[in-house]
Amino acid sequence: MARPDKAAAVAELTEEFQGSHGAVLTEYRGLTVAQLKELRRNLGENARFRVVKNTLTKRAASEAGFDQEVVDLFEGPSAVAFVRGDVVETAKGLRDFAKANQALVIKGGVIDGKPMSPEQVTKLADLESREVLLSKLAGAMKAKQGQAAALFQALPSKTVRLAQALHDKRSSEA
């Protein structure tokens, strides 16, 4: 490959790193082309799975400002899932595919500029999806509003019951 081509490839990878919410690094040794195609299809629209050259990707990761810890992960046959949407969804897709195909190994990742170990990526995959978490948050907020409304309503109703009890007591005494 000519020198300008390499510079263009590094620039493209740097842009991918900087433009994505996260990147999950994998080793794909032993996967067939059909399996890689299936993996790309399973990841959907949120992620772009690319087989990369280590030397060019190391340069791009350094230029993107990643720690040396991340740059050192590019050893052996490497592929990167660049995530532009929900990182949890992509991590789940990779984890599930890795369970079904032992040849795919998650080496680590970068989420919002922070390096992550393979164990952290797996923990991230164990989270529920963004929509489910937002739904739970909305439900909790709605429940708190209901509790506040009941609390505000309790004081006047207790006052009315107390007044009625006093009235009933005075009527029975008279």
Q: Render pLDDT for 133-155 as a digit per residue (tens, 0 to 9).
A: 788 888 888 887 877 777 788 77
Half-sphere exposure of 84 (CA within 13 A, CB side): 9
Residue whose C-alpha is closest to residue 129's, from 118, 137, 119 = 137
> Distance (Å, rounded) from C-alpha 104 to C-alpha 91?
13
Region 35-44 average pLDDT? 87
Contacts for 173 with CB less than 8 Å, ≥ 6 apart:
none
DSSP 8-state assignment for residue 107: E
Query: pLDDT tens digits, residue range 67-116?
Result: 777 778 888 888 888 988 888 888 888 888 888 888 888 888 888 878 88
Region 157-161 average pLDDT? 83
Query: pLDDT tens digits, residue range 45-73?
Result: 888 888 888 888 888 888 888 877 777 88
The whole-number pLDDT of residue 2 equals 54
Class of the domain covering 3-127: alpha beta
